[in-house]
Chains A and B, each alone.
Chain A
Amino acid sequence: MQSSTATPQSPASAAGPGGRRLGRRIRVRPAPRGRNRRRELAGLGYATPTAVVVGLLFLAPLVLVCWMSVNHWPLLGSPSVNFPHNYTSVADDSLIGNAAWFTVKYTLVTTVVLFAVALGLALLVQHPRPGVALLRTAFFLPAAVGFATASLLFLGLLSNAIGPVNPLLQDLGLINKPVDWITGSPGGALGSTVTLVTWRFAGFNMLILLTGLQAIPSELYEAARMDGANRLQTLRRITLPLLRPTIALVLIMMITGSLLAFDQFYILTKGGPDNSTTSVVMIIVRDAFVRFDLGAAAALSVVVLGILVLLNVLQLSLLRRREER
């Protein structure tokens, strides 16, 4: 982020120290000024494609979504302003309320389970020993597969038709008859999804936690051992406090990702049974492409954006306050 000071500086530096330097040299060699100007133009030129993509495909849609959200905007036909109808209907729609509640519940369960597994794996493969690289690869390998692909994989894996889970549990005597894990009950559907997400993302989060763990000086561990601290004490007194920034980062990513969950529900549970696993993003897609009401979808998108920005600001400020202490 070192360059973050460059923009406010650049006009000042032309008149400030740079200007003075130019003034001194101007008689001898007028080149630098022209060269700087040329370099500035070259820089602008190289940044132009980025500016075009960001402007056209990011900033323009961002403005458009706000405009759409205050309009009655059918998929076909011309839009007309209807503010604040789209926003009030967000508040009125009971399906949205249910979806919001489910999304929050899903986020909590996923974050807790995924974090516990990822941290456990990271602690397991933290120290170099023979074979540890192989273990890390095994845990990380699911992250190499696309998420939609992974969802389809679990659709078969947890299915009654060809999945190995039911026969295995029956052989072990844990269940009497096959269970329809994915669509049988709301709890089963949630559990299936959390299992899928944990399998797919635990290794990825393990890797991030691992970099944090490896930044902790090994002298601290040795000192703790000298003082006779056991493993649990070392974990609580040394590892976790020093890992805090990394943990915060991992949690922010997990929470944001879970709040925007879509693929896993669309592919695995289809929002069911009885809309019990319908997430907020699924409602946005339904509004836009099933109900053909882009205005309503835009309004809900703006609300989601607002909540996420608020959440990120909150998390970052919490993080900063902790660091200051």
Chain B
Amino acid sequence: MTSTREATMTGNRRFRRDAGKLGYYGTAGALALLFLFPLLWSGWASVKTPHGFGLTNYRNMVHYGDGIGTYLVNSVEVTTMTVCGTLLVSVLGGYAFGRFRFPGKNLLFLATLAILMVPYPTILIPLYVLLGKMGLQNSLIGLSMVLVMFQLPFATFMMRNSFEAVPQELEDSAAVDGCGSFTTLTRVMIHTVRPAVVTVGLFAFLAAWNEFFAALILLNSSDKFTLPLAVVSMEGRTFGSIDYPTLQAGVVFMAIPCLVLFLLLQRSYVRGFMTGALRS
């Protein structure tokens, strides 16, 4: 179609089209660079030293406070517990909401979605008191439980939709094979809902890895700090003079896993964001 049109196109029109193309890619390219620039700059600043380039900033970051290892282990613990907890609760819950009828089903589902309506601080202030009463003050387990709760509306919604979409025949044939509902879930269903599991797991990972506010409220001794808390506390270490290059090393250290995951799982990422956005 374009070729016939091109043939009839006058030189003037072709020039205008090419100019339009140039304008488009010029503008769009410049904007893309503008959006990529902060990330590239951070990487550059993290290896820049007064005498050229090197890993001094990373060395400083590694030795900060109790040693970055402590915070990394804390972050990995919280992230692992949050991802496992979210998947366990939301796969079972999604299965229940998507394939079963039981009394109180809608009420529970609505209550789960209502978590989205409530602002973080409103729920974190009483949670601080409640977790204290449960002996989970300043505890990574307590923080993970709270993060699971925050993930639940998105995760449950996503899993329920996914389970609802599984054809009834699949469930029936599993029943004919003598599977109970639990075996049906673990042997048959779980494979068909795998994309949703990946998305839910990815989002739980990102939320836990990057969580700042809940961690700030619920953790209060520096040996329990997760990476974002530790790197932010670098900011206030020496009042008045922030060690900016070391801070950028911390930024890169925290951002790399997220960026790698994004590039690997772009599809799940986008699907998750769409579901997350359309849930309301």
Residues of A within 8 A of B (CB): 3-4, 6-8, 10-11, 39-51, 53-54, 57-62, 64-65, 68, 73, 121, 124-125, 129, 131, 134-135, 137-139, 141-149, 152-157, 159, 161-162, 164, 199, 202-204, 207-208, 211, 249, 252-253, 260, 262-263, 266-267, 281, 284-285, 288-289, 294, 297-298, 301-302, 304-305, 308-309, 312
Contact = CB atoms under 8 A, between A and B. Distances in A.
Nearest to A134: B32
A40 B125 contact: no
B106 A3 contact: yes
Contact of B105 (A43, A48, A129, A134): A43
Q: Which interface residue of A42, A139, A143, A249 has the most chain B CB atoms within 10 A?
A: A42
Contact of B212 (A58, A147, A294): A147
A73 to B, nearest CB: 8
B105 A68 contact: no
A41 to B, nearest CB: 8
13 contacts: A7-B104, A39-B101, A50-B96, A62-B118, A64-B129, A141-B36, A155-B244, A207-B274, A249-B277, A249-B280, A281-B121, A304-B122, A305-B118
A148 B212 contact: yes
Given A146-B255, A149-B228, A305-B122, 12 more contacts: A6-B101, A6-B105, A10-B101, A39-B101, A58-B115, A156-B251, A249-B280, A266-B216, A281-B120, A298-B126, A304-B122, A312-B117
A152 B232 contact: yes
Chain A interface, DSSP helix/strand/loop, else mixed: helix
A231 to B, nearest CB: 11
Q: Which interface residue of A43, A203, A289 has the most chain B CB atoms within 10 A?
A: A43
Nearest to B206: A146
B105 A3 contact: yes
B201 interface: no
Contacts of B88: 49
Nearest to A316: B280
B213 interface: yes
A62 B123 contact: yes
B228 A146 contact: yes
